[in-house]
């Protein structure tokens, strides 16, 4: 059993830990400052320079010092070359003879040869896209994947991670790891596997919405409509949850009954780019759909909570219409009765 630490030992341990993290913070700051300085000096991006500084340290190749036997072989080979040409098997013959006789143990190496062998300059390698790709592949395959698989087996937790490129010029493929249960959940919830989701996220990061459409093979209008529905529903649920409503009792986003939703829940969708809030499937123009997607992404179109006076006015107007027997109807779609192209 491990003995308990004394109060003084615990205090010293805390001080040592605090000092260590203070030194780490200082060196991190120095690293960032140096990367920024060099990037500015040589007109290169800070990200590229950081890769060279951080990963490049692992790429430093230091030649091993030649041992006494190798020095003796080289010295004998130089002597033979001065007297006559050295054949293809000359080095092997010299090494075998020296090893058999053992005379190299008693010979002292020449000072100049010794210094030239021991003080060879360090060769610095450039960190390339291939270097980074190999680093990611080796780290994930040999270190991370076995660790997360073991963690899942030991604890029963379900794990999902994904790695995507940061730039279209990066020389590696997106990769994911997902427990079978997570894969099943993704298929039922999002109708795609974690690998497919990683590909779409990678395409969006490196090429924007157009690249996602190209990767997924969907028509632009279909893709835009799906994004609009997802963002509208997510925004509605986020606002209602922040207002204190239970997640299990949130309403579905029914575009045909939008006015009723506003009256019942006291929220409204502002910034809609069309003249009327309708189901995205009723918007036929890809240009209009893209404008709406942009508005939702930028926050220009979002859900807004009504103040008490506005909400009471709407509810009172709704009650009066009910008392008068007025049926609230929406304008008929221009393409009503026609099959939708979705």
Give the pLDDT of residue 6: 86
Long-range contacts of 151-157 (CB under 8 A, 24+ apart): 152/179
Query: Residues of the chain whose pLDDT is less than 50?
Result: 60-62, 109-119, 330-333, 336-337, 342
DSSP code at position 86: -
For residues 174 and 196, give the distance between their C-alpha atoms in angstroms, rounded to a whole number: 10
For residues 65 and 200, give the distance between their C-alpha atoms in angstroms, rounded to a whole number: 51
189: which 2 tokens? 């919830």
User: Angle at CA 115, nearest 5°, toward 114 and 118?
Assistant: 85
How many angstroms separate the Cα of 114 from the Cα of each of 34, 106, 197, 211, 244?
Answer: 36, 15, 59, 59, 79
How many residues are given for the chain? 342
Q: Measured over all CA atoms, what is the biggest interatomic distance in the chain, rounded to whole angstroms?
A: 120
From 205, 185, 187, select the one nearest 196 (Cα to Cα).
187
Paired with 123 in beta bridges are 61
In this prediction the pTM is: 0.44
What is the rounded (10 degree) CA torsion for 209, 211, 213, 217? -170
Give the pLDDT of residue 279: 92
Q: Residue 80: how many CB atoms within 10 A of its CB?
A: 15
How many angstroms separate the Cα of 13 from the Cα of each of 1, 26, 49, 141, 340?
Answer: 20, 20, 36, 36, 70
From 125, 20, 118, 121, select the one nearest 68 (Cα to Cα).
118
From 122, 117, 164, 158, select the one nearest 140 (Cα to Cα).
164
Question: What contacts 61, CB < 8 A, 6 or more positions away?
Answer: 122, 123, 125
User: Angle at CA 330, nearest 5°, toward 321 and 243?
Assistant: 70
pLDDT digits (tens, 9 = 90+) for 107-145: 654 444 444 444 455 556 677 888 888 888 888 888 888
């Amino acid at each position: 059993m491990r003995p308990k630490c004394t109060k003084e030992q615990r205090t010293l341990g805390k001080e040592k830990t605090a000092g260590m993290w203070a030194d780490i913070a200082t060196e991190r700051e120095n690293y960032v400052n140096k990367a920024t300085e060099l990037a500015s000096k040589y007109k290169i991006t800070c990200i590229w320079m950081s890769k060279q500084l951080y990963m490049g340290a692992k790429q430093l190749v230091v030649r091993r010092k030649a041992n006494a036997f190798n020095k003796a072989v080289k010295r004998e080979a130089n002597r033979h070359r001065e007297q006559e040409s050295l054949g293809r098997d000359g080095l092997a013959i010299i090494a075998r003879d020296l090893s058999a006789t053992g005379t190299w143990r008693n010979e002292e190496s020449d000072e100049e040869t010794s210094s030239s062998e021991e003080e060879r300059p360090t060769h610095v390698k450039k960190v390339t896209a291939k270097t980074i790709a190999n680093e990611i592949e080796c780290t994930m395959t040999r270190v991370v994947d076995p660790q997360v698989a073991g963690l899942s087996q030991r604890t029963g937790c379900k794990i999902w991670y994904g790695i995507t490129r940061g730039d279209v010029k990066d020389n590696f493929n997106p990769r994911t790891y997902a427990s079978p249960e997570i894969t099943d959940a993704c298929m039922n919830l999002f109708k795609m596997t974690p690998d497919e989701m990683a590909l779409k996220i990678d395409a969006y990061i490196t090429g924007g919405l157009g690249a996602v459409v190209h990767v997924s093979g969907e028509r632009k209008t279909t893709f835009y409509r799906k994004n609009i529905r997802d963002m509208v529903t997510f925004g509605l649920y986020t606002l209602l949850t922040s207002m204190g409503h239970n997640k299990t009792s949130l309403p579905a986003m029914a575009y045909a009954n939008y006015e009723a939703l506003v009256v019942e829940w006291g929220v409204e969708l502002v910034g809609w780019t069309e003249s009327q809030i309708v189901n995205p499937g009723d918007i036929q123009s890809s240009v209009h759909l893209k404008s709406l997607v942009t508005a939702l992404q930028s926050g220009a179109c979002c859900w807004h909570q009504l103040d008490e006076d506005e909400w009471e006015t709407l509810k009172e107007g709704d009650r009066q219409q009910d008392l008068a027997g007025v049926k609230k109807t929406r304008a008929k779609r221009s393409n009503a009765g026609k099959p939708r192209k979705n």
